[in-house]
Amino acid sequence: MKLIKALLIDNDLETIQQIKRFSDENAVIIFFSGYSNSLQESIPLLQEMRPELVFFKSNRGQYGSF
């Protein structure tokens, strides 16, 4: 089975740590190839990693949608 390469963008470090721990223990379908604290910080990661799936937590600020 092919793993889906994903990127998580969230400004809550605790959430990132919980999801990373869960994915490390249960990497069956989704493989998180990267984590980022902000959309600005994630742009180089998006370009380099080219994930198939992006989880993005919006704070309804400047980047509420894109």
pLDDT-above-90 percentage for the chain: 12
Residue 53 has pLDDT above 80, yes or no: yes
Report whether pLDDT(7) > 70.
yes
Three-state SS string over the chain comes to CCCEEEEEECCCHHHHHHHHHHHHHCCCCEEEEEEECCHHHHHHHHHHHCCCEEEECCCCCCCCCC
Over range 13-42, report the average pLDDT: 83
pLDDT for 47 beyond 90: yes
Return the pLDDT at 66.
45
pLDDT band per the 50, 70, 90 thresholds, residue 65: very low
